[in-house]
Amino acid sequence: MSAKMTNSQGVETITAEGSSDPRPVLMLAEFETADLLMEAATGVRDQGFRLWDCHTPYPVHGLDQAMGIRPTLLPWLVFGGGATGFTGGLLMQAWMNAVDYPFLISGKPFWSIPASIPVAFELTILLSAFGAFGGMLLLNGLPRFYRPHFRSDRFRRATADRFFISIDGRDRQFDVQANSELLTGLGATAVEVIEE
Amino acid sequence: MSRDPIFRPWMDQLLKLVGAGAAVTGIYVVLMIYFGFSPKTISAGYMPEQPVPYSHALHVGELGLDCRYCHTTVESAGFAAIPPTQTCMNCHEKIEPTSVNLEPVRSSFRTGLPVRWIKVHDLPDYVYFNHSAHVTRGVSCVECHGRVDHMEEVHQVKPLSMGWCLECHRDPAPHLRPVDKVTDLGWGMERTEQEKIDQGSEIMKGLGLYDESGHPTTRMTLMTNCSTCHR
Amino acid sequence: MSSIKNKTGSKPGQALWRSLDEYADSPEFRTLIEKEFPNHAPELFHSTSRRHFLKVMGASVALAGGLAGCRWPQQQILPHTSRPEGRAPGVPVSYASCWEQQEVAEGVLVTSYDGRPIRVDGNGDHPFQSGSATSQMQASVLGLYDPGRSSAPTHRDGDHRVSGSWEAAAEMLAEAGKSDKVAVLAAPKSSLALSMMRKRLLRKIPNSRWHEWAPLHRDSERQGTAQLFGRPMRPVADLSAARVLVCLDADPLMTHPASLAHSSGWASLRSSADDDEPVLSRVWAVESSLSVTGGAADVRIPARTADIAGIAVQLAAATGVSLPSDIAPIVSATQVTDEQILQMAADLKSHAGNCLVMAGDRQPPVVHALAHAINIGLGAVGKTLRFAEIENAERLAHIDDIALLADRIRAGEVETLLILGANPVYDAPAMNESWQQLIDRVPLSIHLGEYEDETAEVCDWHLNGTHFLEEWGDGRSWDGTITLRQPLIAPLYDGRSSIETLSILLDEKPQSGHDLVRSVLESRAGSDKDASWRSWLHDGFIRDSANAVDSAPAIRGGWGAAIESALQVPEGDEIVFLADHSLFDGRYANNGWLQELPDPVTKIAWDNCAQIAPSKAASMGIKTGDMIRLSSGGRELEMPAFVLPCQNPRTIGVSLGYGRLLSDRAAGRLSRKPSLYQIADGVGFDSYQLRSSEAVRAGYAPVSVARGSGTYQLATTQDHNPVRPEEFMGDLEFNEEQRRVGEFARVVGAGFTPDHQQVAESVEDAGPHHPDLKSLWKEHEYKSHRWAMSIDLNVCTGCSACVVACQAENNISVVGKDEVAYGREMHWMRIDRYFSGEDVDNPEVVHQPLTCNQCENAPCEQVCPVAATVHNEEGLNDMVYNRCIGTRYCSNNCPYKVRRFNYFNNTKSPSVTEKMGYNPEVTIRSRGVMEKCTYCVQRINSSKIRANNERRKLTDGEVLPACAQTCPTNAITFGDLADPESRVTATQKSHRSYKMLAELNVKPRTGYMAKLRNRPDQDEG
Amino acid sequence: MKQLLDKLSPIMRPELTGNAESPEIDNTAYLPDARQPLVTGENDNTTITDKVCQIVEQKPTVGWWMFFLLSLSVLGLLGVFIPFLIFWGVGTWGVNNPAGWGYAIVNFVFWVGIGHAGTLISAILFLFRQKWRTSINRAAEAMTIFAVICAGMFPGIHVGRAWFAYWMFPIPNQMELWPNFRSPLLWDVFAVGTYFTVSLLFWYMGMIPDLATLRDRAKHSVRKVAYGLLSLGWTGSNRHWHVYERAYLLLAALATPLVLSVHSVVSFDFAVSQVAGWHTTIFPPYFVAGAIFSGFAMVMTLLVPARQLFGLKDVITLKHLENMNKIIMLTGMLVGYAYAQEFFIAWYGGVKVEKFAFINRAFGQYAWAYWIMVSCNVLSPQIFWFKKMRTNITVMFIVSIFVNIGMWFERFVITVTSLANDYTPSAWDYYSPKLADVTILIGAFGLFFTLFALFCRFLPFIAMTEVRGVMAEKARLKSPPPQQGASDSASEDSAAGS
């Protein structure tokens, strides 16, 4: 069980038990609606924070711009997978049926593209799909089962009906006092600090 | 408000380890099956105990008996016949007439009941191997049976797996030798790979497996046709 | 295994001892086809030995050790103690011997593999026959290994039967030999040795008498010739000269004892239609039930068996035979028109000398007399026919003989009854009382036979006889040539042959069969007796030993006296009893191959049936499979009807030989063999119950047909539903079938001298019209052999010998009635029998043997996911059983539907003896595996290896698939298309040649040659 | 039907809070100046989340147990008869010569077909920005997975030597043999394998955020851990959303051609062969249409009861059902067109054998099967021309059942009739199933419904995240926008649509 105390600004601080010198690792600010979050996000971005994030129960349209997220390179991973699948598929068939042990089958040529299309195609899709899924996990650093966020009870609703902004303790501009004021200013209904 | 996270930080590490472990085990199992079930493991080296401790090393290696003295039908028939008791007794009526090891042979000769040899080189039933077809083309006994002339007890040297057969059926040249040298197991050991290939190619031409320019003919492709070995 | 060892005994068994045991080991091994290897990996390191491997994966010693331990069952090699001269293990050897049926011996060549006979083929060197064999000869080898054979003497003990030993039996026989009043009831044999023993018996035992009985015999022929010439003679026909052949209820090509000689003769003449001066023979068949000859005939005239006498009279009159004046030929009853008879007569006369009239054994003697009168009148004698003398001319007709025996038994004149191979309880008509009762009257009854059959049941003693492959013996072929029989294997169940048994009965010191046979033939030997004996054994026959021929037999006056009575025939429906095409008179009932062999005419397996004409059936509202009640002379029997086109509407045809009861039915009888081996048991219907003495004499019997109760499932391999078209298919399917039959089995009407050009055109026209077949890619060129087959429909009679030959050669399993009914028969070769024509009561018949066509663009191959069926460089469509996983896709995609699938494990637990019968050159297929015709690739390969070992080229005809080898009419040609000189190249170039379903561009290697039918309306001028 | 369900509802449905007892609201009417809401009733993120999660969180009801145990017992049939089959051989089936393929292949094609709607609804409708998919795609995808599992079972057991089925995969082996890549069956292996894998990924990936929701609501520690693991530590981070959405879009883009390819490949099993009645170029589109057809029908069969029993009427609204009915009618007619086309080509092509094959289908020994097929697939959906009918729960449920039956018979007709009477009349025979055929056919349904029951019980039945997204727009669209604005907003909202 982790300890809990509230300071003057009503900023709750949650401290993990057993941590010798508790340092703040995360600040969470809760917002009622997506629109509020959107404005707040713009604000936080403009303050020039680096290690921060928004948490929403569904992908909020336009939030990426508000946060200024750069486009992901996932498509390239997918393309890589696809390309491997296609060439690999063709080569595999050519080698197995036409090179390694050629069989005379129905008087057909040992190697012909049309007969090889279906398998090559399926392998293309398969490996692209692996690329997409695996890439998503990779780029998002998933799976990662522990996060400081999970110490906050409020944060449960991040996956249901509430919107959060989190600022990482390692951010250069991280400062409990200043940041909490900023966030309350931007309309946060509650601000929490997670310590470890 | 605070809550207990389901997972602690160290659990992430643990889970990573578990994952890695699983991966390793997986690979290990695959490799085990891969090599563990290989004929090289299961078949090669098979050495059953025979009713009579007949030593090829002695008879062939030292006394210099020719394979065909006992395995008479090897050039004419599919089976290389195991010699009848008579053949053993030709000599052993005089030589070692009292040896304990030879008792099974003598009793067989008396009673007319055969000696129950154990088959060592034992192909599956759907494979039709014909000794004459190989021996009369210059494939030496040693290619499949190894240096039997050095074996105290006969054991299987080659895997006798389909893949292994194909090696030679796809490129017989290095495995061929003059027909009269077929039973001379030690013959041509000193030759280099290239010499083997050159010598083999000549024989291949003689057999019509290569044409004059040394390219494989249709008869060569026939050797990897299914019905060549499976009926 | 040990059991076999004991059975085969010590001395003679020695040679086959080894083979037996080695073989007995291998079947377990064979079942490994199912287990196969675990999935091995190709080597990663070179020279990975077990030791190396263990080094590599140190951790896994235990596991690897375990793996190394798991090896398939060990196999033992049991070499001879001293190998017989010229015997190499695994090299098949052939021996000449002889096979007998209907008192006529056929020379055979028996192929023996390590001391186990595995094939029976015709003896090509034999002067009176070709190298071909009938289905029954082919199947006889299975009979040898039949686990259902009786395996020891048994005798009655109270109401039990106990199995005894031959020692006891021998004492009993010796005793019996001392008594007088011995009667022997023997199945007639042409053996000289046997007749010698007969004479010795009659000499030694004063009041003894020798009776003979066979349910199917040729007595009326004997009597007919006797009427004509004063003494019975044997008409030996030469069909290769008979340009016009008239068969009066005769079946020279199938059920006749000389069918092989007839077939090859007929076929050789038939094939001369392809010569430069083409000649096409014409066969007229007047018959009541469709016979194989009738199917092959150019003109087929249905008539009641009873009416054929009348037709014969008319024909005789029309061909100028002088008949007793007071005979007014009456054929009003027949639906045969005078024109037809006159046409026949005209044909005969216009080919005087090259014509022949044959009468069937169902016909009364006078018909035979008439037939031969015609033959003599038209100068056939010496050309198409010769009359040979025969032994024991004084012999009674079988039916009289057995009746006499019955009387003597009642009169108490028989104290000891020795039955040699006959089975009267099953197949003889009752003589006031049943034969069971009659035999019970005899104080001591002894039965010698291969099976513990119905008669053995009721005899005091049953002695287990030998199979012909187990015994010494001899016989005379149809022309009388003495043919020798030598054992191929020691008696599996320690049986004794008839002559040996008689010797035990008669002699103080019984002689061996070898000595007996040799002694009786000694007189014929030359100076060096051993040499001639050896040469006889080698050839299998004695040259120039044929019976004397009377070139110009004198016709006795007043022979026509019997005509009058023969014309007095009852009106109404008749029933005729047919020799079964597979089981003959029932003797082969326990033979799985013959039971499963579809009848050439009805295509029914595992049953007999009442053949009834479509019109008759329609009028009675009967469908195929409905039970009908047949009553004749107070006897009744219910049988399933089979609506058979070509059947004469007022004749019911019923084949004999079914409804056997072999299994242990007597209360408390000791059972030595599980009755599952008695496959004959209760299969089909015992039609002998309807067959009275009168029927046997007359060849037919009046019958009344009524609807029976319920229906019955008949297993047919074609038209899996009832046969009558309108029934089993709507007009939709029927018309479609008729359309395709025209394309598949092409029939061309031609005259006596067919015009090649014209024939070629009509063959072309018969095929479907399709755009010319192009390939999208450069097609594979075959540089090596190009094996191919062509099948000549013009000479194929549908006799089905090829089907059994294929089954014997390729270890094809028997699946039983239910599976056949389900459409799962395993025969690699099937013979499609098609009816065509308007008149459903008398359509034309055509047979088309169909087996894998070895298409160059085989549709089956591309669809197999695991490449279990692929092409080899010689154009063979290889089927790799051990690679097959059984998707059955290939079979779906085969337009010929010639692939066969093992739906169950058909070879799960063969008995030890059955295993001995397998051909070791062919893999036994496991469950879940597809199989099909391979053109007998095992024969191709062994021939190639032999040729290569000898550094020579294969010669044409050196490779012969089992079907081609056995075909009695040489309808099947096999060879190498790459060889321009080969026969198959010629036949495939022939103007009659065409490919079935060629429009699919599958490029079949098997070609067909169109059938020529010499219809009268085709006569030129 | 509807009344029946209403009666059942009390025992079937868990005690739901909020406006669970919501009435059937007709949101199918066309509004000229606005769009009908895709979620009816007074719902917001909270209520939606509650509704959906409660299905999982409530104790299983009597109804669920009844359904589950029934399915499980039917599944038992497989447990009995598949070992029986493997032990005795495929002879225990009715297959024979000439009909080498029977129920096994029929079922395989049938189930693969069913398996199409899921990915189709998810992927294709997603690409076409059809937001009405959001309420039904989860269940549909689940259905896909389970259907493909059923399908995948059959090729395995229909071969004669199942223990060697692995030879169909290119695994290095001591025989140095490889599968034959020219064989359509091998294409099948790859197509169905890929389809299953990709559908699984697609389904699972879509569920991750919803699993996180369940995780955060979970009370019981086992559930906490289970959902915790399954949701991979998802925090709804927008940086994650960013990659996630792109990945999902790409998967959808990949799945779409895949769906089309899979049944095309399956159709090659027939089209590539040369059996008259199989050898037809029309097969790929024809089979795909049929697959969508049967797939939607099966979704309908499942959802109509489900929305009732789980109180999801206002999430899976009439509009959703109506749209699906429209698609069923459309694809139904496509299939009908294909039937007609086959006959036309058979006549026009002039190949006698093929002509016979089709006449024989309609009037031969299997005519009964053919006419069942036609009346179920072509005639019965025509009723959806009437809005009254396509918005009538009972009617649409019954029709969907008909279509399922009809589509099974379509595969039966294609497979069996063509084989039973093909080129050589002498080999013609009548194929009839044996006990094992029937029991395994039924058992497969047991497997399917068992899995589906477990799915309803333990996984989020509705894609909550997506519904939230949709509702977010609804909120924004409260005020009717200018005419042409509707379309713009459509396009711009779309990104959030998922």
Model pLDDT for residues C649-682, shown as the tens digit of each residue: 999 999 999 988 875 543 334 343 444 567 777 7
Q: Look at residues D287, D303, D291, D284 and name the one whose alpha carbon lies nearest to residue D328.
A: D291
- Element at A24 (helix H, strand E): strand A24-31
Rounded distance, CA A94 to CA C499, Å? 71
Q: How far is the CA of D422 from the CAs of C112, D375, D425, in angstroms?
A: 42, 25, 7
User: Hey, is the C-beta of C874 within 8 angstroms of any chain A C-beta?
Assistant: no
User: Is the Cβ of B218 closer than 8 Å to some Cβ of chain A?
Assistant: no
Distance, CA of C301 to CA of C342 (rounded, Å): 13
CA of A103, closest CA in chain D: separation in Å? 9
DSSP letter at A123 equals: H
In this predicted model, what pLDDT tens digit does every residue of C953-993 receive, in sequence order?
Answer: 999 989 999 999 999 999 999 999 999 999 999 999 999 99
For residues D284 and D268, the answer to whether their CB atoms sit within 8 Å is yes
Interval C95-153: pLDDT, tens: 999 999 999 999 999 999 888 899 999 998 998 888 899 999 999 999 999 888 888 89
| Chain B: partners with 3+ C-beta pairs within 8 Å | A, C, D
pLDDT, residue A174, reads 86
Q: Which residues of B touch C77 (CB under 8 A)?
A: 82, 116-119
Q: Supply angle C-alpha C570, C572, C573, rounded to 5.
A: 115
Cα three-residue angle C365-C369-C374, rounded to 5 degrees: 150
Residue A81, pLDDT > 90, answer yes
Residue B78 CA to residue C938 CA, distance in Å, equals: 13
The one-character DSSP state at C904 is S
Interface pTM, i.e. ipTM: 0.90
Q: Is A141 left (phi over 0), alpha (psi -120 to 50) or beta?
A: left
Distances in whole angstroms, Cα of residue B161 to Cα of each of D131, D161, D164: 59, 22, 18
Interface chains of chain D (3 or more CB pairs under 8 Å): A, B, C
C871 interface with A at CB cutoff 8 Å: yes
Chain A touched by B4 (CB under 8 Å): yes
D228 touching chain B per CB within 8 A: yes
Distance CA(D21)–CA(A120), nearest Å, equals 52
Alpha-helix runs per DSSP H in D19-136: 45-57, 62-88, 103-119, 125-127
Which of C780, C872, C873 comes nearest A107 by C-beta? C780
Cβ D174–B166 below 8 Å, yes or no?
A: no
Q: Tell me the C-alpha distance between C576 and C570, whole Å.
A: 14
Sort out which chain D residues have CB atoms less than 8 A from C830's CB and list them.
Answer: 426
Task: Determine the pLDDT at residue D498.
Answer: 35
Kindly determine whether residue A154 and residue B1, on different chains, have CB atoms separated by under 8 Å.
yes
Residues of B in contact with C923 (CB under 8 A): 125-126, 230-231
C39 falls in which pLDDT band (50, 70, 90)?
A: very low
Is it the case that residue C162 has pLDDT exceeding 90? no
pLDDT exceeding 70 applies to what percent of chain C? 89
Those chains having 3 or more beta-carbon pairs within 8 angstroms of chain A are B, C, D
Quote the pLDDT of residue A160: 86
Angle between helices D393-412 and D318-349 (to 10 degrees): 30
Nearest-angstrom CA–CA distance, D220 and D218: 6
Amino acid symbol at C566 = A
DSSP, collapsed to helix, strand or coil, labels residue C104 as strand
- Which of D175, D424, D435 to mutate to probe the C interface, most C CBs <10 Å? D424
Query: Considering chain C, what is the average pLDDT of its residues?
Result: 85
Chain A hits for C866, Cβ within 8 Å:
none
Tell me, what's the pLDDT at C671?
Answer: 40
Q: Which of C775, C861, C1003 sits opposite A105 (nearest CB)?
A: C861
Please work out, in degrees rounded to the nearest 5, the angle formed at the alpha carbon of residue C836 by the alpha carbons of C831 and C840. 115
Enumerate residues 72 to 111 of chain B having a beta carbon within 8 A of any beta carbon in chain C: 72-73, 75-79, 81-86, 108-109
Contact D228 B159 (CB under 8 A): no
pLDDT confidence bin for C1021, thresholds 50/70/90: very low
> CA B107, CA B109: separation in Å to the nearest integer?
5
pLDDT at D475: 62
**Would you state the pLDDT for residue D60?**
82
Calculate the alpha carbon distances from D406 to A168, B147, D214, D338, D435 in Å: 59, 70, 39, 15, 22
Question: For residue D62, what pLDDT is reported?
Answer: 85
Chain B interface includes C26 (CB < 8 A):
yes
SS3 readout for C115-141: CEEEEEEECCCCCCCCCCCCHHHHHHH
**How many CA atoms within 13 Å lie on the side-chain side of C241?**
16
CA distance B166 to chain D (A): 8
Cα within 13 Å of Cα(D346), Cβ side: 21
Q: Is C914 in contact with C147 (CB distance < 8 Å)?
A: yes
A137 at interface of C, judged by CB pairs closer than 8 A: no
Question: Is C501 exposed, middle or buried, given 0-12, 13-18 or 19+ CB atoms closer than 10 A?
Answer: buried
- pLDDT tens digits for chain D (498 residues)? 556 656 655 555 444 444 345 567 777 766 666 666 667 666 777 888 888 888 888 888 888 899 999 999 999 999 999 999 999 899 999 999 889 999 999 999 999 999 887 888 788 888 887 777 888 888 889 999 999 999 999 998 999 999 999 999 999 888 889 999 999 999 999 999 999 999 999 999 999 999 999 998 888 889 989 999 999 989 999 999 999 999 999 999 999 999 999 999 999 999 999 999 999 889 999 999 999 899 999 989 988 988 888 878 878 888 889 989 999 999 999 999 999 999 999 999 888 899 999 998 998 888 899 999 999 999 999 999 999 998 899 999 999 999 999 999 999 999 999 999 889 888 888 888 999 999 999 999 999 999 999 998 899 988 888 888 887 766 655 544 444 434 443 333 333 333
Burial status of residue B34 (CB atoms within 10 A of its CB: 0-12, 13-18, 19 or more): middle
Cross-sheet strand order for the sheet of C574-578:
C701-702, C574-578, C651-655, C610-612, C635-643, C626-632, C704-711
Q: For D427, name the nearest residue in chain C, comparing CA atoms only.
A: C718
Nearest CB to A107; choose among C779, C867, C873: C779
Instruction: Count Cβ–Cβ pairs < 8 Å, chain A vs chain B.
Output: 42
Taking residue A196's Cβ as centre, other Cβ atoms within 10 Å add up to 18
- Helix (H) or strand (E) holding C1012, with range, is strand C1011-1013
CA–CA distance, B209 with B171 (Å, rounded to integer):
10
Q: How confident is the model at residue A8 (pLDDT cuts 50, 70, 90)?
A: low
**Interchain pair C57, B126: CB under 8 A:** no
pLDDT at A99 over 70: yes
Question: Does residue C211 contact residue C186 with C-beta atoms inside 8 Å?
Answer: yes
* pLDDT at res. C608: 92
Q: Report pLDDT digits (tens) over C336-380.
A: 677 888 889 999 999 988 999 999 999 999 999 999 999 999 999
The beta-carbon neighbor of A105 closest among C778, C870, C1003 is C870
- What proportions of chain C, in percent to the nearest 5, are helix, strand and coil? 35, 20, 45
User: Which amino acid is residue A60, in one-letter code?
Assistant: V
Q: What is the pLDDT of residue D43?
A: 72
Contacts of the segment C777-780: beta carbons below 8 A, 24+ positions apart: C777/A108, C777/A109, C777/A112, C778/A109, C779/A107, C779/C856, C780/A104, C780/A107, C780/C856, C780/C871
Q: Cβ of B161 and D174 within 8 Å?
A: yes
Stretch 7-36 of chain B: residues touching chain A, C-beta under 8 Å: 7-9, 11-12, 15
Q: How far is D50 from chain C (nearest CA, A)?
A: 50
The pLDDT, as a whole number, for residue C37 is 29
User: Where is average pLDDT lowest: B4-8, C2-6, C734-738, C740-744?
Assistant: C2-6
List the end-to-end C-alpha distance of chain A, in Å, as a whole number: 13
pLDDT of residue C986: 93
For residue C412, pLDDT over 50 is answered with yes
User: Smallest Cβ distance to A108: which of C862, C867, C873?
Assistant: C862
Q: Which residues pair with A6 in a beta bridge?
A: A12
Supply the DSSP symbol for C656. -
pLDDT tens digit string along A122-163?
999 999 999 999 999 999 988 888 888 888 888 888 888 889
- Is the Cβ of C1003 closer than 8 Å to some Cβ of chain A? yes
Strand duo C385-388 + C93-101: pairing:
unpaired
DSSP string covering C787-855: EEEEEETTT-----HHHHHHHHHTTPPP--HHHHHTT----S-EEEEEEESS-TTS-EEEEEEE-----
Cβ distance C884 to D160 less than 8 Å, yes or no, reads yes
Report the residue from B6, B7, B163 with minimal CB separation from D174: B163
Share of chain D above pLDDT 90, in %: 54
Distance from CA of C863 to the nearest CA of B (A): 17
Find chain A residues with C-beta within 8 A of C856's C-beta. Answer: 107
Cα torsion for C279, C281, C282, C288, to the nearest 10°?
Answer: -160
Tell me the residues of chain A between 93 and 112 that have a Cβ less than 8 Å away from chain C.
Answer: 103-109, 112
**Closest chain C residue by Cα to residue B88:** C81
Q: What are phi and psi of B94, to 5 degrees?
A: -100, -50
The chain D residue lying nearest A167, using CA atoms, is: D237
Residues of A in contact with D236 (CB under 8 A): 55-57, 158-159, 164
Is-contact C650 C574, C-beta < 8 A? yes
Residue A9 is predicted with a pLDDT of 61
Residue C569 is predicted with a pLDDT of 85
* Predicted pLDDT at D3: 63
The three-state secondary structure class of C887 is coil
> What's the pLDDT band for C566 if we cut at 50, 70, 90?
confident
Q: Which of C415-424, C453-462, C712-721, C912-921 has the lowest mean pLDDT?
A: C712-721
Place of tokens 């010769």: C386
- The reply to whether omega before D98 is within 30° of 0 (cis) is yes
Query: What pLDDT digit, counting tens, does each position of C178-230 carry?
Result: 888 899 999 999 999 999 999 999 998 888 999 999 999 999 999 999 999 99
Query: Is the pLDDT score of C18 beyond 50?
Result: no
For C12, the token pair is 């003679």
How distant is the Cα of C236 from the closest Cα of chain B, in angstroms?
A: 44
Question: CA-to-CA distance for A3 and A13, rounded, in angstroms?
Answer: 8
C-alpha separations of B208 from B77, B216, C947, C948, C959 in Å? 22, 9, 14, 11, 21
pLDDT of residue C326: 62
Q: How far apart are CA D409 and CA D376, in angstroms?
A: 9
- Contact: A119, D187; criterion CB under 8 Å: yes
d(CA C229, CA C393) in angstroms, rounded, equals: 12
Please give the structure tokens belonging to residue C766: 């018969």
Instruction: Name the residue of chain A whose CA is nearest to D272's CA.
Output: A115
Please state the pTM of the whole predicted model.
0.89
